[in-house]
Structure 1
Amino acid sequence: MRQPMRHALSATLAACVLALSGCATSGAPATAVETRSTQELLDASTPADWRTPDPANLLYMDLAGGRVVIELAPAFAPEHVANIRTLARGGFWNGLTLYRSQDNFVVQFGDITEEGVPGKPIGSARAKLPAEFDRASAGLAFHALPDADGWSAQAGFVDGFPAARDDRKGAGRTWLAHCYGTLGAGRDMAPDSSNGTELYIVTGQSPRQLDRNITTVGRVLQGMDLLSVLPRGTGPLGFYEDPKQRTPIRRIRLASEVPANERTPLQVLRTDTPLFDAVVESRRNRRDDWYVRPAGHIDLCNISVPVRTPPAG
């Protein structure tokens, strides 16, 4: 019970600093503490509260309806990410399709072929990779949540990615959580049967049962609205029965390979700051007029990390 109390005090102090108001520091927040909405907290942010993703870790998926921006996570799946970069540079996904949309689950894209029909060449990319379901916790700046997690010993964030870890028996393993917008590498029965050519994006209720059973390689920063509205496939597991129902992919490129004037400028709120703690607290205990009582708890996958277009000037 002590950790949540410490976090509540820490969040209260952070809110006090942001609100520039006095607060009690003896364990319980003073009744005069000013509270702010998530938007008010973000409006009070400083440039240091935001980070600009590395263009070498960004994928642009261009569809007829617009662009989906995906941030890759080489710290968690370095071999898959390296292969995905190679595939993107070779134009592997250009002209392929989103061929699956399963209700309340995922959309999937890549090179779907009929049985016995050769697939698209993968060029210099590797056909075989090891499973990268989790990694050693050492070397990761894990920003933990005080809230209990039903799928791990502890949940939190690593550089903006929702993650979980288990260090209870000295195992020291951390992994990316299957939250809305997570990008994963589809596999067959064998754990090491993924190579990054077939990818899926979570569009439904967070399927955390997949954690540590499949390699997760990133998350969508912008463009989920283009994916979540795709017509649901009527075939088994949401596959489109008619190829005409598939959504064409114009191209998928690394942002680092795109001219600067054609890139999508984005900033992501840092998840290792007092401001982020205050933002999480504003979602954990909603104090909007509509809410009758605060929840006192928040699930990892219910925390949306804010993304914005950099302000002018």
Structure 2
Amino acid sequence: MRTAFLAASAALALAIPLAAQEAAKPTYPAPSEIVAAAPKADWTAIPAEDLLVMTLAPDAEGKPRQVVIQLMPAPFSQGWVHNIRLFARAKWYDNISVNRVQDNYVTQWGDPNYDNPEATGKPKPLPDRLKVVPESDYLTRYSVMSSMNRQTRQMVTRTDPPLAGPRVKDAYGDSTFSNGWPIGIYKPANEPPVLHPTHCYGMVGVGRNYSPDTGSGAELYTVIGHAPRHLDRNIALVGRVIEGMEHLSSLPRGKGELGFYAKDEAAKRTPILTVRVASDLAPSEQPAFEYLSTESETFAAYADAIANRRDPFFITPAGGADICNIRVPVRRVQ
């Protein structure tokens, strides 16, 4: 009995310090918890003029499919964004289709009769007033400005566009965030740095032929796999899918070259019924979204939490994150 009592006492003596140690461990919120606790002031509304609503044909079960795309704001890719709004308002995108789905790469849509030697119909004529955008517009130069902070009497440096988000280093160079978008910083030799959008999952780009062609916006694609960052500065990025990505990422893969649907796969093409600029819809039909400001303290904490996961599931913080792993939170508000 005495031996059992001593053993139990020893176990209790060991258990108490361990429990105390566990209680003393700091707790860290998960990235999702940081976003959920963000104050309303840290969220920025997305203008309806910057939203495209794309309606696909219903799925095999007859369920509706809708995809919402946020277009990039100035100063990035504005020539192509102009064209895309023009295509949508001319209803040119109506009744085109998804023509290419390449696994771990992209889903691409456009006129199935355009630039297709196996096409059975005539290509749609392009609308008037399209811009021909130069390759130089793949990049955006930013200016550095300084002003005196009257409260502290110190010089304050800022950039246009603002680059106030956390900096990220990866194999493709420095990256950061600007107005809610992941942005690469390219530093050519003996020239000022330039900015460019990054090919992250869900980003939307403009299909093109060989240089110097830069594409008009008649063919668009979205990234459905590991971020193909080698495309940065080589193709125009114009937006990102913010809702309905599952309708584009889960489509049957094409068996033709580069994932295009072969001649005997025409039935796999998903019809696109309509594409509309959200601001052109009736007020009751306009979707409304907002994103977590990348200039906010909440976003900085969120990015740090992704780069250094300390919440209970994780054992070893990575100490860093790819720019494309720090996805900017976007939420629907109605």
For normalisation by structure 2, the TM-score amounts to 0.79
Hey, what's the Cα distance between the residues in 1 that align with 2:257 and 2:308? 40
Matches within 5 A, 1:236-247: 236-241=257-262, 242-247=265-270
Matches within 5 A, 1:1-313: 34-63=27-56, 64=58, 65-75=64-74, 76-113=76-113, 114-115=116-117, 118-126=122-130, 128-131=132-135, 132-138=137-143, 139-152=160-173, 154-167=174-187, 169-241=190-262, 242-310=265-333
Instruction: Output one character per residue of 1:165-188: Cα deviation in whole Å (capped at 9) or x when no partner.
Output: 134643221000000011111111
Distance 1:112 1:143, change over 3 A: farther
User: Is the CA contact (8 Å cut-off) linking 1:66 and 1:226 kept in structure 2?
Assistant: yes
Instruction: Output one character per residue of 1:239-274: Cα deviation in whole Å (capped at 9) or x when no partner.
Output: 111211100101111011111111222221111111
Aligned residues: 280
User: Is the CA contact (8 Å cut-off) linking 1:103 and 1:238 kept in structure 2?
Assistant: yes
Give the deviation of 1:158 after TM superposition: 1.2
Equivalent position of 1:15 in the other structure: none
Please identify runs of 4+ aligned residues in structure 1 that moved more than 6 A: none
Name the aligned partner's letter for residue 101 of structure 2.
Answer: S
Name the aligned partner's letter for residue 275 of structure 1.
Answer: T
Structure of higher CA gyration radius: 2
Distance 1:272 1:306, change over 3 A: same
User: Is the CA contact (8 Å cut-off) linking 2:52 and 2:68 kept in structure 1?
Assistant: yes
Name the aligned partner's letter for residue 240 of structure 1.
Answer: Y
- Between Structure 1 and Structure 2, the one with more strand by share is 2
Hey, what's the Cα distance between the residues in 2 that align with 1:129 and 1:118? 25
SS at match of 2:276: strand
Identity of aligned residues (%): 37
SS at match of 2:109: strand
For normalisation by structure 1, the TM-score amounts to 0.84
Give the deviation of 1:193 after TM superposition: 3.6
User: Is the CA contact (8 Å cut-off) linking 1:61 and 1:67 kept in structure 2?
Assistant: yes
RMSD: 1.9
Distance 1:129 1:43, change over 3 A: closer
Equivalent position of 1:14 in the other structure: none
Hey, what's the Cα distance between the residues in 1 that align with 2:171 and 2:300? 21
**Higher mean C-alpha displacement, 254-263 vs 282-291:** 282-291
Q: Which runs of 5+ in 2 are unaligned?
A: 1-23, 59-63, 144-159
User: Is the CA contact (8 Å cut-off) linking 1:108 and 1:199 kept in structure 2?
Assistant: yes
Give the deviation of 1:223 after TM superposition: 1.3
Hey, what's the Cα distance between the residues in 2 that align with 1:85 and 1:101? 24
**Higher mean C-alpha displacement, 200-209 vs 44-53:** 44-53
Hey, what's the Cα distance between the residues in 1 that align with 2:86 and 2:220? 15
Instruction: Output one character per residue of 1:178-225: Cα deviation in whole Å (capped at 9) or x when no partner.
Output: 000111111111233411111110011000000001111111111111
Hey, what's the Cα distance between the residues in 1 that align with 2:220 and 2:317? 38
Give the deviation of 1:144 after TM superposition: 4.4
User: Is the CA contact (8 Å cut-off) linking 2:29 and 2:311 kept in structure 1?
Assistant: no
**Higher mean C-alpha displacement, 112-121 vs 243-252:** 112-121
Distance 1:190 1:166, change over 3 A: closer
Q: Which runs of 5+ in 1 are unaligned?
A: 1-30
